[in-house]
Amino acid sequence: MSRRRYVARGVPGGYRIWDNRSRRWWGDLYELCPDELVAGLNAGVDHPTLTALLRRHRAAKR
């Protein structure tokens, strides 16, 4: 099993997505763990699906 590129990590105030390849944070701070978003990023989903996942998780943090 290969190492995952994107991983959700807990930070003060919520969760952030860590990119193991570029070694930096990806995206916004999320109050709820973005499991579906991380799975979609690692699976390489298409752009419209990824955009829908981003919108869903951004709305959940408000």
Edge-to-edge strand ranges of the sheet holding 24-30: 6-11, 14-19, 24-30
Domain ranges of the chain: 6-60
CA nearest neighbour of 44 among 1, 9, 4, 17: 4
How much is the pTM? 0.85
pLDDT tens figures, 5-61: 999 999 999 999 999 999 999 988 999 999 999 999 999 899 999 999 999 888 876
Q: pLDDT: is 27 or 1 the higher one?
A: 27
Angle between helix axes 35-43 and 47-60 (nearest 10 degrees) is 160
Residue 28 — φ and ψ, nearest 5°?
Answer: -95, 180
pLDDT for the residue numbered 61 = 62
